[in-house]
Structure 1
Amino acid sequence: MKPTNDNPSAQSRVVTQRVACDWRRAYALAADPARLPDWASGLSKSALVQQGDQWIARTPESGDARMRFAPPNEFGVLDHWVAPEGVAEIYMPFRVIGVAPDACELQFTLLRQPHMDDAAFARDAEWIARDLKALRDLLEA
């Protein structure tokens, strides 16, 4: 008997983007909260403000959001947690993986939230794809 999972919130989607640059360079740029407005339109419209170990971002859809990031590491882990106003914190797994000396892959795992319908899940995946392409363009410029 094939197992099934009818729980929509248990769904995830990995959105990837190949980039023609060393993974360490991609990691350094993507890990810098000050650079988020340059490519992450889903997270911030303007400069982030640091408050202790968190950052405050003005999001395009839900006002201010508190953000925290995985500590600097040598593994390409860029995971972050976002807490929009009035919403529980959301975990966002994000990796930069070296695939060749001069190429890497950005991998963002979109975890479907309990309140998301199919259209919202698809819209968020498309938004992430646009942001990863913007990051690629920035890195390859």
Structure 2
Amino acid sequence: MTNQNSPSPTPKRAIYGFVLYLSAHLAFLIYVLWAFLPDELLRAAGFTYYPNKHWAITFPFTLFLGFLLAFPIYMILSYFKSAPLNSLDTITDNYAKDLKTFPIVEGQISPIADLNISHINRNLYLDYKL
């Protein structure tokens, strides 16, 4: 029995991936043909309803602009959601786990816990020399 959440390739995923690969190439080919063939040739082939040709430029430009603006928008939203630097929430919160609350067993790796801000400052800035 295989794990359903495993990212390893299965025959079903391989088939879906191959169909998606072929579909993407077919969609791109149709897009290029629609963008570059004249309207008379498309009508002669039997295609009477299709988008206006200006969308051949507008659609990719809009996608590019969306991807270009996504990163700055994400940074701005992250900036507005973060606490100010003088807030105590930047130091600790109710969910912080202190290392002193865990029993230390000889020979084992320490558990995951938050480090105290005084410990960080002592290690980073105490031995600092100009």
- Range of TM-score over shorter length: under 0.3
Asked which structure has the greater CA Rg, the reply is: 2
The structure with higher relative contact order (CA 8 Å, sep 6+) is: 1
Specify which structure has the higher proportion of strand: 1
TM-score, structure 2 normalization:
0.22
TM-score, structure 1 normalization:
0.21
Specify which structure has the higher proportion of helix: 2
